[in-house]
A = this chain, B = another copy of it.
Amino acid sequence: MYDSLIKYINSFASAPLTESGIEVIKKTFIPKKIRKKQYLLQEGEVCKYMAFVVKGAMRQYSVDDKAAEHIVRLSIENWWAGDRESFTMLTPSIYNIDAWEDTDALLITKADMSLLNQIPAVIQMTRKLDDNHAFAYQKRLNAYISLSAEQRYEDFAKQYPEFLQRFPQHIIASYLGITKETLSRVRRHAVKK
């Protein structure tokens, strides 16, 4: 259960976690099974945990006044789930996070996270994650303001092919900011080319 997290942390570190570091990790993260359709976070709540996905798939989305869901993030194995703003600022979230598949996750609280931020490997991980996070957001943002639906889909398919396997098209469409019908047409068109 913890193996994948430890491997994950080490992949960011210049020197691997020590034995005692591993112990701390194991004591700190809370294993949790989240069944399909169960919530990790609901709109209006404060996000108490960041979740590392060991196995499964989750989605984060806002719901508009017409009850339409808008997916802002998808997480599968070795990704995180959680609303960073709510988590760090302790403010009510505007997002929902739920499991799309039965999921094994490792949860951590804010207090424990700041404790862990003494461990060198963890510090390096969070730095790198912050960087990668910022890069990815910048790219995605640029895609929204400069690319058509079709180009955005192609970019997405190239960059995250696993996601296409794990989530149905209406989820992908929502993530891309288009309707499922538009995505369906875009794909047909792309195949023809």
Contact = CB atoms under 8 A, between A and B. Distances in A.
B175 A145 contact: yes
A134 B84 contact: yes
B140 A141 contact: yes
A147 to B, nearest CB: 8
Nearest to A86: B135
Given A137-B137, A145-B175, 9 more contacts: A68-B146, A72-B145, A84-B134, A88-B131, A130-B134, A134-B137, A137-B141, A141-B144, A145-B177
Interface of A: 62, 64, 68, 70-72, 84-85, 88-89, 94, 130-131, 133-135, 137-138, 140-142, 144-146, 174-177
